[in-house]
Structure 1
């Protein structure tokens, strides 16, 4: 079977996606892909979702932060960005998703927008709510353990 000529092949754009969730959440590739498809189907409908063609190419998430590369058809980037932004929870766990950038090739997307280094999170005890509590610290964000759940805090919230 012959390949299509270059001018007839579909053109793609690649979205670098930053993922943030609670430190104890184990987020999987299949669950993230399913959430993308579900969100696109709800927002754009079946035909619009098929036209956008969202596909997860790479994914990594551990310790509450992660990143992914999502492939989208050229001309449907704005719809795809809206669908990705609509993902608020995956398998019942809340997530924060941010589009870091858009590129024309996977290589450029990874070089420009992906960190590819392990997250710089540390575990330490902080003074929060009149008690000393364990917390996971990532840059300037603190995820403080309060009972069985986490509470998000900033540096000025911590004593």
Structure 2
């Protein structure tokens, strides 16, 4: 049996999702920052199944990821998780907007973003050498080193 995708480029979401779900997707694409309303709970017309729609803007193209709501899961979009996703989405957008070619700048930015997202007192990025010893290539701290902290690896 050959797999036939339900949604292809150019598919009108109104043919796949219920009216309120399609409207929610249309409204979300009108936001200046498309990742802000993520995730959006949508209902499939044909199967009745629910999905979380997550909208991204990647190099000028609108991408929507659909993650199924598990059958034993009560679908909910709580304010805390929505806020966390917004912060993570903004961090990802900043990382994607960096010019290519500078691992140092990438590590500096990654350390800053993780620091802001987590609130940890210390975040470091290490570069590991062939002999498996590591050196700190980027770090940020609120004050003297105390826990909790997180380490990122840059290869």
Normalising by structure 2, we get a TM-score of 0.30
TM-score between the two structures when normalised by the length of structure 1? 0.29
Higher strand residue share: 1
Higher RCO (C-alpha under 8 Å, 6+ residues apart): 1
